[in-house]
């Protein structure tokens, strides 16, 4: 399915933050052409964790998910761009790093599914829900110009 400009939620999970992979992960998204419109380092509260993983309530791995996402800080971000959800998921690779395509974030940086470095929304609807958990509307920096637009404007002024 082809989408136009859209937003997605991505989080560098505690293992990725602890290992110092945040910059490399962000670089990959930006290199693809996705624009970071919100970014923060935070400790996930119990309430946020429960909202984030609500669809897994009652599953045997649910308590581990909650413990893991709260085991250290995460870097939460909102990315915007053409087919943002699909583009981000492609860059991340399959949830199980041993099945992820070589060159994806999970293939390159993770060994086991439980500690797979990064989370990304699986649909536009999930993205909206997850963005609302981690960000207030005023925290999204929607209308900023990229460097090339600024340079062109500056050149036109003179």
Active site residue 119: yes
Q: Which of 52, 56, 90, 119 is catalytic?
A: 119
Q: State how far the alpha carbon of 109 is from the alpha carbons of 19, 94, 118, 142, in Å.
A: 10, 12, 10, 30
100-124 residues labelled b (16+ CB within 10 A) or e (exposed)? beeebbbbbbbeeeebbbbbbbeeb
- As to burial, measured by CB atoms within 10 angstroms (0-12 exposed, 13-18 middle, 19+ buried), residue 52 is buried
Query: Active-site residues: which are they?
Result: 119
């Amino acid at each position: 399915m082809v989408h136009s400009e859209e937003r997605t939620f991505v989080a560098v999970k505690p293992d990725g933050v602890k290992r110092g992979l945040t910059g490399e992960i962000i670089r990959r998204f930006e290199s693809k052409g996705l624009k970071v419109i919100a970014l923060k380092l935070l400790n996930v509260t119990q309430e946020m964790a429960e909202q984030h993983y609500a669809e897994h309530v009652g599953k045997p791995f649910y308590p581990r998910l909650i413990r893991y996402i709260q085991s250290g800080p995460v870097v939460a971000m909102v990315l915007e761009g053409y087919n943002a959800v699909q583009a981000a998921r492609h860059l991340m690779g399959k949830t199980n790093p041993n099945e992820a395509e070589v060159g994806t974030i999970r293939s390159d940086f993770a060994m086991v599914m439980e500690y797979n470095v990064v989370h990304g929304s699986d649909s536009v609807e999930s993205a909206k829900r997850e963005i609302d958990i981690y960000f207030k509307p005023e925290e999204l920096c929607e209308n900023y110009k990229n460097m090339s637009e600024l340079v062109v404007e500056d050149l036109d002024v003179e």
